[in-house]
Structure 1
Amino acid sequence: MAKITYIEHNGTKHEVEVKPGMTVMEGARDNGVPGIDADCGGACACSTCHVYVAKEWVEKLPAKDPMEEDMLDFAWNPDPETSRLTCQIKVTEALDGLVVNIPEKQI
């Protein structure tokens, strides 16, 4: 299991255990974390699971693929360095301690 901390825009923290093989989006959905809507169900066809990854984690995550880059163009207030779609981040033991910040709103 990997412990992931989701921080809402208002500062409320949700620290949850997520099984390897799931996505960060599925971890939020299955644990009732608000603010990550995932309207497309994880198909990388919307940007409602957009988060800002804590800066210390940016280089530790796999690179964004072109489809994720394209979908981030539709996210609310994306940051070129830290914005990610949680449906595209597969959880591994190496992600234990990952921190993501949920934007004020999604699209």
Structure 2
Amino acid sequence: MAVLNVIDRDGNEAVIESDTGYSIMDVLQANGQDVAAICGGVASCATCHVYVSPEVMATLPPLEGDEQVLVEESEYYKEGQSRLSCQIQFTEALDGIQVILAPED
């Protein structure tokens, strides 16, 4: 089990305790967060767009391919912070991570 801290689009904070080994998108959806994830987690939409801190970004695999294109084309892209939550595996190493749900495009 690990903790995922979430700030939703209204600024409300939630602390989610979850098993690891799932994408952050899956954890968010399983815990009632407003993440559409229309493509089901295959990085072909940006409806699971989140922001993470630059410190956390430095520990994640780099943006590439479809994920990079999708977040960079988002109206709400933040360089060095934007990721698709479907592309981030929730692991013990990310225990305590905070994600902020990006506004809907």
TM-score under structure 1 normalisation? 0.89
TM-score under structure 2 normalisation? 0.91
**Residue of structure 2 in register with 1:28 after alignment:** 28
Gaps of 5+ in 1: none
Gaps of 5+ in 2: none
In the alignment, structure 1 residue 6 sits paired with structure 2 residue 6: yes
Cα offset for 1:20? 1.7
Deviation string 1:8-58 (CA, Å, 9 cap, x unpaired) is 132201111222210000000000012x21111101010000011023312
Aligned sequence identity (%): 35
Matched letter for residue 38 of structure 1: A
RMSD, matched Cα:
1.3
**Residue of structure 2 in register with 1:89 after alignment:** 88
**Secondary structure class of the residue paired with 1:60:** coil
Matched letter for residue 106 of structure 1: E
Matched letter for residue 85 of structure 2: T
**Residue of structure 2 in register with 1:44 after alignment:** 43
**Secondary structure class of the residue paired with 1:29:** helix
Q: Matches of 1:83 and 1:41 in 2, distance apart?
A: 19
